Amino acid sequence: MDDTDFSLFSDKKKHKKDKADATLMAKTPTSELDLKRIIISRPTTDDTYENCARAGIALILNHRDVKGQKARVGTERDRDDMKATLQGFGFDVRSYDDLTFSDINDLLKEVALEDHSQNDCFVLVVMSHGTEGKVYAKDMAYPVERLWNPFLGDKCKTLKNKPKLFFIQACRGENLEKAVEFSTFAVMTRELVAPAVAPVAQPITYAIPSTADMLVFYSTFDKFFSFRNVDDGSWFIQSLCRVLDVAASNEAAQPEGAELLRLLTAVNRKVAYEYQSNTKNEALNQMKEMPNFMSTLTKTFHLRVKPKT
């Protein structure tokens, strides 16, 4: 049976905490040192991220029991499969269940202070209830950007110029994705050409936005439901695990690695083509789901299987 990860509290009422988050003013440098500092932006020919010694740290925030919400039955399957998949790539996987927002906030700040300089990337996977622009901790909802703010370039120095990957399994609204049908007469294929070897990096200082080199992969389109099977786990997380597992046994095990965006597109395709809801609730039956990602990656990132840490 399929369920959704939509918050039961989907009203538009504003709360004090929400208002505070929405009205934070942007801060600009005001010190004399900041005002006198000259920043020079220049082009780069480096089009691939560095291949480091370790895969990196991967956090899993799993929420089954959220205050005032329906239990997310089946999420344990997602948690365990995601952990095994990431460990297969050599990630230092740290899994947490039903943390409060305060615990999450402290955890993310602590991990951001760690040394990531020898890591390929950073990964954070969240599985919870959600609504427009927010996901749920055990005790409250919080703006989704609070997940990546501690890892931005101006806060986490050792993750500058490294991919920061966020995977979010949660509803983003209450709209339902209806199925549309089409017919085709041929299967088109194309040969993938391996990317050229990146040139040797030169000792040059570059200026990039603090929000650069980040990717957020949502389980569903903005303002739409996200589905989870109570026995088999969520469509999105299970598809992500299957695609990454296949890659880990094939191209990601090779020196050149597996190109990330191609893998994520395969996840989109798998969920879009292979899944539809099956539930006694007619309003939710035979519905679809469309994952999508937002990327500020500035280079090509290849996932590679690394020695376990």
Query: Which residues form the catalytic set?
Result: 129, 171
C-alpha–C-alpha distance, residues 10 and 7, integer Å: 6
Report long-range pairs for 208-212 (Cβ below 8 Å, ≥24 apart).
Answer: 208/153, 208/160, 208/161, 208/298, 209/153, 209/296, 210/152, 210/153, 210/154, 210/155, 211/152, 211/153, 211/296, 212/153, 212/161, 212/296, 212/298
Please tell me the distance from the alpha carbon of residue 65 to that of residue 71, in angstroms, as a whole number. 5
Report how far apart, in Å, the C-alpha atoms of 149 and of each of 145, 166, 210, 213, 272 are.
Answer: 6, 12, 10, 13, 30
Coil, helix or strand for 175?
strand
Residue 262: enclosing H or E segment and its boundaries? Answer: helix 260-274
Q: What is the DSSP letter of 138?
A: S
> What type of residue sits at position 247?
A
In sequence order, what are the residues at sequence separation of 6 or more whose Cβ sits closer than 8 angstroms to the Cβ of residue 78? 62, 127, 169, 228, 233, 234, 237, 238
Which DSSP letter does residue 54 get? E
